[in-house]
Every structure is written in structure tokens, then in C-alpha cells.
Amino acid sequence: MAVDWARGGPDLLVALDRGAGPLGIQLQDQLRTAIRDRRLGAGERLPSTRRLADLLGVSRSTVVDAYEQLLAEGYVESTVGSGTRVAAIPGGLTLRAPGVASSPSRPIVADFEYGIPDLGSAPLTDWSWAVSEATRALPTAELGDADPAGSPHLREVVTAYHRRVRSGCAVAEDAVVVSGFRQGLAFTLATLAQHGIRRIALEDPGPREHDLIARRACLDPVPVPVDDGGLDVDRLHASGARAVLLTPAHQCPTGVALGPTRRRDLIAWADEVDGVILEDDYDAEFRYDRQPVGSLQGLNPGRVIALGSVSKTLTPAMRLGWVLAPPRFVPGIVEEQRLSSRGTPALDQEALALLMESGRYDRHLRRMREIYRARRDVLAVEVEHAFGPGRLHGLAAGCHALLRLPDGTSEHTVVTTAAAMGVRVNGLAHYRFPGMETEPRPPALVLGFGNVSESQIREGIRTLARSAGHGGSDRA
């Protein structure tokens, strides 16, 4: 269903697809994209809710809800007598991919960069409520230097959350609040080095830079391959490492979940080598088709260090995360934190505690799960249409998937051709540690769909298919 409301409002096409998920979400999505892409300019008037509902053939409450959501996010303004108008949003909200090799005037078709949540959906209204509550409630005494381990309140709330949602078993004393996962990782690795651990196994393929973070902590990183069941635990045994860092809930970047037997084998490995498992719990909150998989930390709290972050659940700009560690490692991690920065900002910590305690965090996650599920469904349909069946993997959870390209395709050529056509995407090669690849991998693209609208996904996948057809082959 497509509607053009040229008369009595801005010239904008809204197309709702009754087979493609909730109509209200589609409407929000398209209006948000139109505003971000400057197809709707600041001050432009949107049609009345009644008129738009009539034009689209949807209930008025669907349109009212969509407008209210955009109002809460600051995309539109509403004044009595002049209806709903597009708000002036800062230029920074325009999706502009730094790595795309395109001329300045070329529009960005889609940015499939991995690991970015929907920035336009960051719960800023809830966050400003939480910050103002925190500012009001924080006792004067806590405005000085605080405990580098983090505020007792947030440590309590985060561990309760982890027990409730992730089947963990940590208590507040096991938690250290950090400025995001990466900082937690750096502090943890430095602590492991002090405990005599020399070698750490990393997933291959895996997130870029983890090898560099390990080396900075004076550890020796060793890659261990990931297959369809997750990290290969036999190869882990053979690696001689006594620590391993992995993403068991939704492997970065292949999207596989660590299977039940592998989980048991991994725990047994840790007991056998007196080792430590670093669980990057990234992506655990977003699950679609399968039962939740609990945190490894709950299975063996003496051997697992769980690292969490709100970078994906809220926004990377908040720079907040936590490390849940066995008691023997906590003092070392806290000391790293104390020496590096004396701790994470107290007001932000209190705001996050209030956000989580008030139920607003869970509510936001519920809303985002539906948005991501709708995007994932669009991605699956578009990829199947453009590349054929069975090529997309790792869709059961999270906000990224792996697109296997036809054998012989040059990943590099597809990535650079797509970039020139306005689509930003990384090949699997981007997730290998240079010079440390365990084995060759078939060509593939990592498609992050957290921060691309459904219409951008459609357009982006079509462009990728054209890129793969345009000289994307290694064959002569």
C-alpha cells in the first residue's frame, strides 16, 4: 500500500507492506528515515493522524502511536493549532559512513556496519529522566571520588539483572563497573597476566583489535577456529592457552551459538587446565527463534568472567559496562580501574541503575527486539531473493548475520564495488587477525542490521547483489 500526500502536506511516499511486520513500526521507520535523510525538512507539516490513517487504511491509533514515538525521540514537534511538524535534528544524525569511498554528494544507500544498534531509537527521553532523577537523588557525599569498583547500587542492580535474565549467579561484590566492554576486557586481561596467565585463545574469525588488546596486557593471543557449533574446543585444548575469550550467545561475526555439548566441554576444559573463560555476553538480549541460552557464568562461576555492556542495548555513547568475576580476580580489576580513571562517572552509574530498576530498560529491550526482528525478516527475504536460498546464517539472535557469497566470489571486490555504490559492508576477512588465520574461509559478508531501516536493507541488498555480479568473481 503506497500513499502520496502531496496535497495538504509534504511530498513523501509511504509504502506499508501488510506482510512485513507491524504496520505502526513500518510507519515509524519510514518517517524516521525520511527525516534523517532530509527528505522531510525541519518545520514541514505531517498530515493529521486522522487523514494519514484514512490514506493508509490503518487505524488512527496506529498513526497516533507512531507520531508519539517520533515525538519522544525528538524527530517531530507538536503544537496546539499547528499539528505535527518535523523537528530540527542535529546534522550528526545523518547516516554517513566514514569508510565509504564515495563522492561527498553520493547518498548513503545502506550502512551494514556490524555492532551498531538503532541510534535513532536510543531511549533518550528515559535516559534524561534517569539522569535528572540521579542528579536529584545522589547524596552530596557521593559527589566526591567514589569506589572504583562502581556504585553499590548499580553493582546490585546489574547482578540482579544478570541473575534474572541471564541465569547468572554473581552477587554485587563480584561486579566491577567499567566504561564499556573494551575497557573491562583490558582491565581483566591485565589482571589475568598478574595471575600468571600467559596465553589467551581468541575466536577466529573474531572481533578486530582483541589481539591488540591482549598484547597490550602482555598476553600472547592465539586464534582458535569457530565452526558451525561455535568455538572448536578440541583445538582450544591443543592451543596451550589457559584463558579464552568468546561470544557464546551469538558469535561475532558468524552468528552461531555455542552448542550444549561444546558448552559442557568448554567448562571441563577450564577445570582441566586451571583456566578462565571470558564470556563476552554481547547480543544475548536479542533472541528471536530459539530458547534463551543462559550465561556460562551461571554454570561455573569460579572459572567464568562475564563481561556486559549497554553499547548495543542502549547506545555506545553511554560507555557503560560491567565485569562479573570470581572473587580472586576482583581486587586486580578494581585496581586497574582505580589507577586508570578512579572509576566510572557516578551520575551515569546511578542513572543506569534507575533505568534498569524502573523497568524502562526491559521495556526498551522489548521494543527493540520487535524492531530488529522486523529488520531481520526483511533481510532474510531480500537476501533469498537476490542471492538464492540458504546463504544467510546466524539469524536466530542479535543484529548481524553472515551472508555466504558464491564460491569464487572476491569478497574484497564486492566490498569495494558496494562502497562505491553507497553501501558500507565488511567482508569476513575484516574479522581475521592478520597473519594468524587458522584456516581458509569461504567468501562472506557480515551484515549488521541494527542501524539500517527496512527500506535501506531492501535497497542495500539489491546493491550488494549488483556488486557481486559486477566483477565480484575470482574466476577468470
Binding site residues, ligand PLP, CB under 6 A: 115, 180-182, 207, 247, 252, 280, 282, 309, 311, 316, 321
Considering the complex, what minimum distance in angstroms separates the CB of residue 280 from ligand PLP? Answer: 5
**How far is 356 from 363, CA to CA, in rounded Å?**
9
Interacting residues of 342 by C-beta distance below 8 A, sequence separation 6+: 145, 146, 148
Considering the complex, what minimum distance in angstroms separates the CB of residue 206 from ligand PLP? Answer: 8
Query: Contact, 25 vs 32, CB < 8 A?
Result: no
Considering the complex, what minimum distance in angstroms separates the CB of residue 360 from ligand PLP? Answer: 20
| Closest CB to ligand PLP among residues 180, 394 | 180
Q: Given CA atoms 346, 286, 292, 358 in this order, what sign does their dihedral have? A: positive
| Closest CB to ligand PLP among residues 67, 187 | 187
| Closest CB to ligand PLP among residues 280, 285 | 280
Task: Determine how many CB atoms are found less than 10 A away from the CB of residue 317.
Answer: 12
| Closest CB to ligand PLP among residues 46, 213 | 213
Considering the complex, what minimum distance in angstroms separates the CB of residue 374 from ligand PLP? Answer: 22
Considering the complex, what minimum distance in angstroms separates the CB of residue 305 from ligand PLP? Answer: 14
Interacting residues of 461 by C-beta distance below 8 A, sequence separation 6+: 110, 379, 382, 383, 386
Residue 434 amino acid letter: P
201 forms beta bridges with: 222, 244
Query: Contact, 304 vs 155, CB < 8 A?
Result: no
| Closest CB to ligand PLP among residues 69, 251 | 251
Considering the complex, what minimum distance in angstroms separates the CB of residue 300 from ligand PLP? Answer: 21
Identify the burial level of 133 via C-beta atoms within 10 angstroms of its C-beta, where 0-12 means exposed, 13-18 middle and 19 or more buried.
Answer: middle
| Closest CB to ligand PLP among residues 208, 360 | 208
- What 3-state class would DSSP assign to 257? coil
